[in-house]
Amino acid sequence: MRAGDLAAPFPTVGLDTPALAAARLLAGQNLPGLIVLDANGRPKTILPGTQVLRMAVPQYCQDDPALARVVDEAGASDVLQDGLADRTVAEALPEQRRELAAVDRDATALEIAALMARTRTPVVAVVDDERRLVGAITLDALMDRLVQS
């Protein structure tokens, strides 16, 4: 088994993708983040889900949770969608971008595990010879292959 066989489709966004669309991709998918592609379709970095929330939640709520306590669910939905409106994935990315772990299709399972361990990232991109995205491998999929009894 090589990386090319384990690679599964993984949601991607571009730098110009609306932040709200990225948030909707994250909703209900149980993903550690989204792979961000550059203009040439090459994987560039990972957009962590928490980073989308950091953009969406007003700073005063992050500083003082008590202020968030008085807002009901409908209000919360409005606040978050307002926070994301007219903004893009590029604006949501952290200043210190997370290293995008990537391997070629021939990488072994242990190589992928070593890369996840070293970079502390639960998702590794698999790329072809021209660094275009083939798919991705998540930590749980890898664990499923390697440690299931």
Instruction: Output the smallest distance, CB 22 to a copy of itself, in A.
Output: 10
Instruction: Output the smallest distance, CB 111 to a copy of itself, in A.
Output: 4
- Of 40 and 63, the one with the shorter C-beta distance to a copy of itself is 63
Which residues of this chain interact with a copy of itself, rule CB under 8 A? Answer: 1, 20, 23-24, 26-32, 48-54, 56-57, 61-62, 65, 68-73, 75-77, 79-81, 84, 107-111, 113-118, 120-122, 138-141, 143-149
Instruction: Output the smallest distance, CB 124 to a copy of itself, in A.
Output: 11
Distance CA 55, CA 127 (A): 29
